[in-house]
Amino acid sequence: MKFFLDTANLDEVRKGASWGIVDGVTTNPTLIAREGRPIAEQVHHICEIVEGDVSAEVVGTEAESMISEGRELSKIHKHVVIKVPLTRDGIKATKALSGEGYRVNVTLCFTPAQALLAAKAGAYIISPFVGRLDDIGHNGMDLIRNIAAIYKNYGYRTQILAASLRGPVHVIDAALAGAHIGTMPFKVMDMLFNHPLTDKGLEQFLRDWAKVFQETPVAG
Ligand code: G3P
């Protein structure tokens, strides 16, 4: 499973990248706006840090503007994946941009039918939002499972990127459900490392080691 960071914050990207397990980054207009810098500048910085796909989202709502915006975004860096929303115009833009050889991430997916539309239009990535479905009383993970089954039935190569993951259990369930990629906020990725028994065990190992090798003078 590929791990993406869902952030536009450079400190978070740098810290995550230093661990060696970040395969890409997803941004959206909210995340870019939070950093307060122009999208081209911010995305370029991110692309220079991470060796992998970096999604940059269009803000136009009509197919023609999404297509021209997408072409511009892709000029920022070779890592850029053009992100478009799952609307009629978004699907139209996906078909056109994919036909021109661009990699497109179709976002704001909430049903298997929408995921099927994206795959048919040639999307490189589909982004189903798990947490936001849970928020309205649905089972977000069922969506990942259903998309995985449907794509398998027809051999679609569109990658399933589980988005809106809110905690480690979401990440693991998405992996079990067959997501190719999980994108998560920095704090969720950070939480994946934690277990009290790891801390306790390490403390014990170091205490035992110190008793023999640090408190006793080295022979010779
Ligand atoms: O980037 C899209 C998605 O991951 C947003 O997550 O937590 O705002 O629903 P969230």
- Contact of 124 with 160, CB cutoff 8 Å: no
CA 171 to chain centre: 11
> Does domain 2-194 sit in CATH 3.20.20.70?
yes
Q: Residue 106's beta-bridge partner residues?
A: 84, 126
Reported as a single tens digit per residue, the pLDDT across 173-200 is: 999 999 999 999 999 999 999 999 999 9
Ligand 1 proximity of 6 Cβ (cutoff 6 Å):
yes
Residue nearest to atom 6 of ligand 1 (CA): 164
> Which ligand 1 atom is the nearest neighbour of the CA of 27?
1
Is the pLDDT at 52 greater than 80? The verdict is: yes
Q: Is the dihedral of CA 118, 119, 124, 126 positive or negative?
A: positive
Give the pLDDT of residue 214: 81
- Please give the full DSSP string across 47-78, using - where no structure is assigned: HHH-SSEEEEE----SHHHHHHHHHHHHTS-T
- Residue 123: name the closest of 155, 97, 154 by CA: 97
Reported as a single tens digit per residue, the pLDDT across 124-171 is: 999 999 999 999 999 999 999 999 999 999 999 999 999 999 999 999
Task: Return the best residue to mutate from 164, 165, 166, 186 for the ligand 1 pocket (most ligand atoms within 8 A of CB).
Answer: 164
What are the structural domain ranges in the chain? 2-194
Cα 209 to Cα 146: distance, rounded to the nearest angstrom: 50
3-state SS, residue 160: strand
Specify whether the backbone of 204 is left (phi greater than 0), alpha (psi in -120 to 50) or beta.
Answer: alpha
